[in-house]
Amino acid sequence: MRYLPHTPEEIRAMLARIGVESVDELFAPIPKAARAKPLALEPALDEPGLMAHLDQLAEHNRASRMLSFLGAGMYDHHVPPAVDQLLMRSEFYTAYTPYQAEVSQGTLQAIYEFQTMVCELFGMEVANASMYDAASATAEAVLMARRVTKRDKAVLSAGLHPHYLETVRTYLSASDDLAPRMEVVELTDRGTTDRKALAAAAEGAAAIVLQYPNFLGTVEDLRAAARIAQEAGALLITATAEPYGLSLLESPGACGADICVGEGQPLAVPPQFGGPGVGLFACRQKFVRQMPGRLVGETVDAAGERGFVLTLSTREQHIRRERATSNICTNHGLIALSFAIRTAMLGRRGFLAAGEACLSKATYLKQAIAACPGFELPYAAPTFNEFVVRRKDGAAAPLLAALAAQGILAGVDLGAFRPQWERDFLVAVTERHSKADLDRLAAALAEA
């Protein structure tokens, strides 16, 4: 539709009604000197040229484009423009909960496919229709384990993202009269959870919670943790902030996990000031009645045609009220849809190729930084695409600030989370980094 959709006949009728011959005559009372002059516009650009021109203009808003190695729960992977275009299809106009759900067949099918992908990713049997983010999903998993086991205590690794730890503590504080039964197990000098301490703390616990890979980028031994959990009668919960890691690592479900949660942002949208994300949540089928959120299933209609329905909804708005498993009122449906589209576009081979690129580039950068005087890699445990660098002399924060002034966001200052980590910073590498990017960071550290 045109901005002014009036027909020539309608315009003539309006002009006749007010007694003028033309639209130009309407402006006759305005002095010519006060009228707008024709604009000296540059020739029109084609679409690629226009996009490049706008990008050049945007560069004036910052001194230079920053080279980023930030991670710590939010990762900068490639998300093709096709994802945004598909999100605009009419079937997916709303990201909100589909009330009268069966009318929203497009949304329900997208959620069904999302659930299937999450199950395959984690090696699990059932998944829900998404959560807000990985932090709230971790807390909901702990509450679920308490319902299943009828126990109160939660044992969490210090390798869990500090924000996840605080979110769990907040949830438990609300349910335990400000006295949460929560124990945090420290890490070894390899950067992984202390197994002996974990086994000692697991006695009488509802859940053991590990991050995979953990906050420091190291890969935990889930099979050993699963044995500890089983012997203690606890459920093993895993949290995965970087789903691309599961392209190469064995799935947590195959390692014995009972509940798997994670952050879908890396497979859905670029980092955007800390959000939005989408919480992934999957579990063993025998626990499905205690799973928070909603679950979409496949069926057939009266005519025998394939259709999708809201199979399970255990939240408070759907009759359950005080017996609800969760008070979550909606899900990040739009980001979940983006996750499903991007994952489908990658396919198995593309997902594996991206993971291999991340690992290869991270390994190259680790070797380059290890050769820099004044720096060391403190943890010997295997990593995927994220690792800790330690400054031998001095805190990391001033160094990171100096590199930022050079246009390099070299990593996340771990001293902001724990005082004993003040010399450490966390570096994340994705397939978007070129060899020149990696060499630039290594050279800047060598000069520092």
Out of 99-103, 194-198, 343-347, 432-436, pick the least confident.
99-103
Q: Give the residue from 292, 310, 343 where a domain finishes.
A: 343
Give pTM, 2 decimals: 0.84
Domain membership of residue 24 (yes or no) is: no
Residues with Cβ within 8 Å of 414's Cβ and at least 6 positions away in sequence, in order, are 388, 396, 421, 422, 424, 425, 426
Residues with Cβ within 8 Å of 68's Cβ and at least 6 positions away in sequence, in order, are 76, 409
With beta carbons less than 8 A apart as the criterion, state whether 422 and 416 touch: no
Instruction: With a cut of 90, say whether residue 280 has pLDDT above it.
Output: yes
Tens digit of pLDDT for each residue in 257-275? 999 999 999 999 999 877 7
Domain membership of residue 13 (yes or no) is: no
326 and 186 share a domain? yes
Looking at residue 43, what is its pLDDT? 87
236 and 323 share a domain? yes
- Average pLDDT on 72-84 reads 94
141 and 197 share a domain? yes
248 and 306 share a domain? yes
With beta carbons less than 8 A apart as the criterion, state whether 92 and 110 touch: yes
Strands (E) located in 326-435:
375-376, 386-391, 408-409, 412-413, 424-428
Share of the chain above pLDDT 90, in %: 70
279 backbone dihedrals φ, ψ, rounded to 5°: -80, 130
Domain membership of residue 35 (yes or no) is: no
Chain centre distance of CA 410: 21
270 and 317 share a domain? yes
Domain membership of residue 144 (yes or no) is: yes
With beta carbons less than 8 A apart as the criterion, state whether 81 and 270 touch: no
CA within 13 Å, CB half, 238: 32
Instruction: With a cut of 80, say whether residue 217 has pLDDT above it.
Output: yes
Tens digit of pLDDT for each residue in 16-40? 999 999 988 988 889 988 888 888 8
- Average pLDDT on 267-289 reads 92
226 and 260 share a domain? yes
State the CATH number of the domain containing residue 254. Answer: 3.40.640.10
367 and 300 share a domain? no
With beta carbons less than 8 A apart as the criterion, state whether 387 and 378 touch: no
198 and 275 share a domain? yes
- How far is residue 101's CA from residue 166's CA, in Å, rounded to a whole number? 34
Domain membership of residue 14 (yes or no) is: no
Tens digit of pLDDT for each residue in 293-336? 888 999 998 899 998 888 877 554 555 566 677 766 556 888 99
265 and 214 share a domain? yes
- Average pLDDT on 429-437 reads 96
308 and 393 share a domain? no
Across all residues in the chain, what is the average pLDDT?
A: 90
85 backbone dihedrals φ, ψ, rounded to 5°: -65, -40
Q: Give the residue from 280, 313, 343 where a domain finishes.
A: 343
Looking at residue 341, what is its pLDDT? 95
**Burial grade of 428 (CB within 10 A; 0-12, 13-18, 19 or more):** buried
Closest to 160 in 3D by CA, of 74, 90, 220, 250? 220
Looking at residue 1, what is its pLDDT? 41
Domain membership of residue 45 (yes or no) is: no
With beta carbons less than 8 A apart as the criterion, state whether 157 and 209 touch: yes
For 73-96, letters b (16+ CB in 10 Å) and e give bbbbbebeeebeebbeeeebeebe
What 3 state SS string does 113-139 have?
Answer: HHHHHHHHHHCCCEECCCECCHHHHHH
- How far is residue 230's CA from residue 235's CA, in Å, rounded to a whole number? 7
Closest to 448 in 3D by CA, of 388, 407, 391? 391
Residue range of the domain that includes 287:
81-343
Tens digit of pLDDT for each residue in 151-192? 999 999 999 999 999 999 999 987 655 456 899 999 999 999
With beta carbons less than 8 A apart as the criterion, state whether 209 and 217 touch: no
Domain membership of residue 16 (yes or no) is: no
312 and 361 share a domain? no
Instruction: With a cut of 70, say whether residue 4 has pLDDT above it.
Output: no
Looking at residue 106, what is its pLDDT? 80
Q: Give the residue from 343, 360, 388 where a domain finishes.
A: 343
User: In DSSP terms, which residues pair with 183 in a beta bridge?
Assistant: 155
309 backbone dihedrals φ, ψ, rounded to 5°: -140, 160
* Counted domains in the chain: 2
319 and 379 share a domain? no
State the CATH number of the domain containing residue 442. Answer: 3.90.1150.10
Out of 47-51, 117-121, 348-352, 399-403, pick the least confident.
47-51
- How far is residue 55's CA from residue 174's CA, in Å, rounded to a whole number? 47
Share of the chain above pLDDT 70, in %: 91
**Three-state DSSP state, 408:** strand
- The pLDDT confidence band at residue 242, using thresholds 50, 70 and 90, is very high
- How far is residue 442's CA from residue 369's CA, in Å, rounded to a whole number? 6
- Average pLDDT on 388-401 reads 96
Closest to 241 in 3D by CA, of 133, 373, 93? 133
Tens digit of pLDDT for each residue in 126-145? 999 999 999 999 999 999 99
Instruction: With a cut of 90, say whether residue 253 has pLDDT above it.
Output: yes
- The pLDDT confidence band at residue 402, using thresholds 50, 70 and 90, is very high
Closest to 296 in 3D by CA, of 88, 91, 134, 104? 104
Domain membership of residue 271 (yes or no) is: yes
Residues with Cβ within 8 Å of 41's Cβ and at least 6 positions away in sequence, in order, are none
Instruction: With a cut of 50, say whether residue 95 has pLDDT above it.
Output: no
- Average pLDDT on 223-244 reads 98
- How far is residue 312's CA from residue 366's CA, in Å, rounded to a whole number? 46
Closest to 344 in 3D by CA, of 118, 99, 14? 118
